[in-house]
Structure 1
């Protein structure tokens, strides 16, 4: 016996745990020889079937020296499939004469396309052991290979899919909906894609599917275990082929087998930008080109320059008895320099002129940054409009969502504060009969999307064909896309954990990818976003954009009015003081003389 081989002898009459001996996590190939002369062998084979041990990891040899019969031993076991590695051995005697009996051991390769589907056992006689010699008729490795077991002979397998529609009662309806071109209500784009993948498997292995339709993908009971929806059906081994996608989650690796990493789920809000959309009060605003910190630093800098100008002019006038006029109206002069206006009179002192020149240069640089930001924002239309989900919620846009299961689950169990706020402010308020409903279909939503004022959330590839059909060139340039509400992620084509079809289907999906079938199918089911044909679009500035400028003008006028009232009161107060002083002097003089 070689050093890397081991043998364990177990008595079937003794109590032991088969799970501790055979484990599906064993990555090395293990040979199991079952002596059927023991009465407990049928119980062991039954437990092995329930544990799904008849797979490519284990090489089984059923040693039937009493010729009990294959159907008697494994005929009622359910988990024997095309990946089963079973060799059945029986014994016969050939009498060539009265004195000589030659024992012959016959070897049979055994598998099935699915005993749980009442598929027959397929038995192939490939060798005999006679008189100390092995006579091989066929190569057992070829018999156990995938190519030998890829003909299912129109066997009907169980399929599961998700169509969020009422009155789905038979397979013909499901096939008609999933095989139709274009968008269908209540059907996700990735569901149609996975149905196409299932048809590739059907054509390659020659089987059909009997579908079970579900209204949703997932649902958990207590303990966090999938028991509802599409994932629950696949996990409970109630479907052989999952004709829809499942997200690639770490906690699902122990619950499903992935045969193909198939689809990138990408959903987003889509809306048409119009000039009246203001996400957070600063989009296109008069103050938007500079951040608040820049405005405060600029104001502090100008104030510091004014103070320095006054101090320099005062020192020059006191020291050299000149430059006194530079102190007159310095506040207005500094403001005029910032606004790039002329100074009259021009400062006479060199220090004052240096300060004015520096202030003019500072205002020139800041003005260039300001104007370039404004012009660039007007020409670069893709930068305008809400860019995040939070800005979408704060905007005046009315929200609508595709009428499909996972959006209703999202609002039934909000995951964060933003979704809760969206639900209270955008979903709950009632809408008029002429408005787009909260949950609607893409064909109904696109006309409202074209009109403006609505943001529709759906999977991108579902909306692109309808947008290309209804939007003109300039309207396509106005289209904005904001992701972030639902996670982007890769989706898997799944089957039941330790399924008897995992190996066959996985190899076929690998070959389909290598030959380009997968890429061609993705190209059909993932249309690209319609391209903007216009070079640029200039949008008129809305009231929200110039509101801050009008507010600044109003504050200045109000301040001027307050100053005027103050000056008027001050003038009246001075006139009253002068009149009282004059009367006092007149009375004093009259009384004195």
Structure 2
């Protein structure tokens, strides 16, 4: 075989896929390498040669596989060399057949490469083109048949797949030197198909999939556990695991692979290690069907193939108003400056009214009665509350001023009462507790669902968590008073004065069961940990990553993802505040009765003082 034909083939192939970095593993002579480098430099292709006949060629191959830049690069492998089989085994052991490396492997007519590739650890995402030299084809000489070669996964039982791509005539024209582009003389449908479409079927492999089931007896047979995962009742139990199981079944149907299931009782032992997470990090399974909360510490050796839905855990509690014995609700409609203006206006009216009666007496308006300041103040408050007044000036100026004061107080009174009515017909006021530290300092009792991820998160050394533990958990002697089942905990929250922590969709499920419409509107929530996305994890460097990612996007675009999210993750029940009237409880009404009681006591004291003064006056008179 003429070496010039190989030159033409290599330059044509990598120019077509726009690769400018090329590694040539061959046993070419120095003259051949020099000549090839001259040809590639004119095509802006930069070449590094690894010669197999030297003693340290294995070291060069190891560095090539170990220190890849991550960018796409081309590799040419001359399988005609005597060391070729040993080099092929080294490539296989070091997993050098990856998606970022484009391989062109050629050999002489001995054609032993395909037989040896059957035992080679290739991958489904590898770009491997096998060039088979043919002396002639339909009158063309110097012809190469190109084949696409891949394996769905040797370790998982995958077979070698070889698909014909095209036939190239790379012979040189008579009288022309240098690089001569190859010509296509035959092409299959493979060239018109996308890379991922050509490798969409994986029926020959058995995928190892792990699933997390919490609170289940994992010693049961796989048939019983899979039957439970297939069930659709009691959506609040293991909803995350059963939600992810649906995605695993969709991928299984799309790719056609077989599945070997394994089951675990926890996502992680600590927040970033152990459990199902360690299984996928160590390569014990190929994927975990149950999604994980995406946090930075978990992504060291992990890739996220797809983000499913949001994950949120919160404390649920209702606004407590049993101890609210202040007049805040009745003072709230106006700001402080408005209240000061109201008091100033009443005081000015009271003083002005008395002055008007004094002036009318001096001008002889048939008015001999002059009210006291206390009487005019009472008249001012009566007018403010739209109760009219017994004191009406006789002069025109006095009556006009009284009319303007009456109109002003009428508007003020209506502003105030409309805001009070709006409160009674509006939604219940939310609690002032908005953060975890405020919850820790409150008098609310707490309960927490006993799940592994919550216990793991509470081990974090964050100031707000440490403060919460010291205030709410460490003082409790009996742990059973804190870690209680979710159904019991959500029932306790209705008592007002109790906060329960769980995953929000599970809390919403029991809210639908037990909460009244008014209680739904009165709900308060405080997050224990920041909201996160639930992601489907796969081992970093897995050859299936891009294939799964594309199909996950297809699942989202076709509506399957949103359908399963709506079914397995309950949304917050609607608030029917517009159809609910808020009653004024003793907490709000107590200040009114307290004012009345204080007024009676003051009145009795003043009566007693007046009687004492009258008694003293009679004695002194006698």
| Shorter-chain TM band | 0.7 to 0.9
Out of 262, 270, 275, which is 1:211 matched to? 262
Out of 540, 546, 549, which is 1:497 matched to? 540
SS at match of 1:109: strand
- How many angstroms does 1:298 deviate by? 1.2
Distance 2:381 2:148 in 1: 98
- How many angstroms does 1:501 deviate by? 0.9
Out of 109, 124, 129, which is 1:87 matched to? 129
Look up the match of 2:456: 409
TM (norm. structure 2) is 0.71
TM (norm. structure 1) is 0.74
Q: More displaced, 439-448 or 203-212?
A: 439-448
Q: How many residues align?
A: 548
SS at match of 1:32: strand
| 2:158 pairs with 1:119 | yes
Q: More displaced, 501-510 or 530-539?
A: 530-539
Distance 2:511 2:564 in 1: 21
Distance 1:184 1:171 in 2: 20
The superposition leaves residues 293-335 of structure 1 with CA deviations (integer Å, 9 ceiling, x where unpaired) of 7256414531454156426745984798368825543332223
Look up the match of 1:165: 215
The superposition leaves residues 46-67 of structure 1 with CA deviations (integer Å, 9 ceiling, x where unpaired) of 47865x6533332112345587
> For the Cα contact (< 8 Å) 2:264–2:275, is it kept in 1?
no
> For the Cα contact (< 8 Å) 1:266–1:460, is it kept in 2?
yes
Look up the match of 2:370: 325
Relative distance call for 1:348 and 1:64 in structure 2 (3 A) is: farther
Look up the match of 2:179: none
SS at match of 1:11: strand
Higher relative contact order structure (alpha carbons within 8 Å, sequence separation ≥ 6): 1
Out of 546, 551, 556, which is 1:508 matched to? 551
- How many angstroms does 1:506 deviate by? 2.0
| 2:585 pairs with 1:542 | yes
Distance 1:423 1:354 in 2: 67
Look up the match of 1:7: 46
Relative distance call for 1:128 and 1:305 in structure 2 (3 A) is: closer
- How many angstroms does 1:450 deviate by? 6.7
> For the Cα contact (< 8 Å) 2:428–2:582, is it kept in 1?
no
Look up the match of 2:428: 383
Look up the match of 1:346: 392
Relative distance call for 1:375 and 1:245 in structure 2 (3 A) is: same
Structure 2 runs not aligned, ≥5 long = 1-10, 16-41, 172-182
Q: More displaced, 316-325 or 140-149?
A: 316-325
- How many angstroms does 1:562 deviate by? 4.7
> For the Cα contact (< 8 Å) 1:240–1:495, is it kept in 2?
yes
SS at match of 1:86: strand
Q: More displaced, 397-406 or 137-146?
A: 137-146
Look up the match of 1:243: 289
> For the Cα contact (< 8 Å) 1:195–1:243, is it kept in 2?
yes
Look up the match of 1:459: 503
Look up the match of 1:438: 482
- How many angstroms does 1:339 deviate by? 3.0
SS at match of 2:209: strand
Distance 1:154 1:387 in 2: 60
> For the Cα contact (< 8 Å) 1:174–1:211, is it kept in 2?
no
Distance 1:263 1:303 in 2: 58
SS at match of 2:386: coil
The superposition leaves residues 485-512 of structure 1 with CA deviations (integer Å, 9 ceiling, x where unpaired) of 1434433233223321122222222333
> For the Cα contact (< 8 Å) 1:290–1:370, is it kept in 2?
no
The superposition leaves residues 239-269 of structure 1 with CA deviations (integer Å, 9 ceiling, x where unpaired) of 3223122345578777543333321334455
Distance 1:372 1:4 in 2: 83
> For the Cα contact (< 8 Å) 2:350–2:373, is it kept in 1?
no
| 2:77 pairs with 1:34 | yes
Look up the match of 1:364: 410
Look up the match of 2:342: 301
- How many angstroms does 1:203 deviate by? 1.3
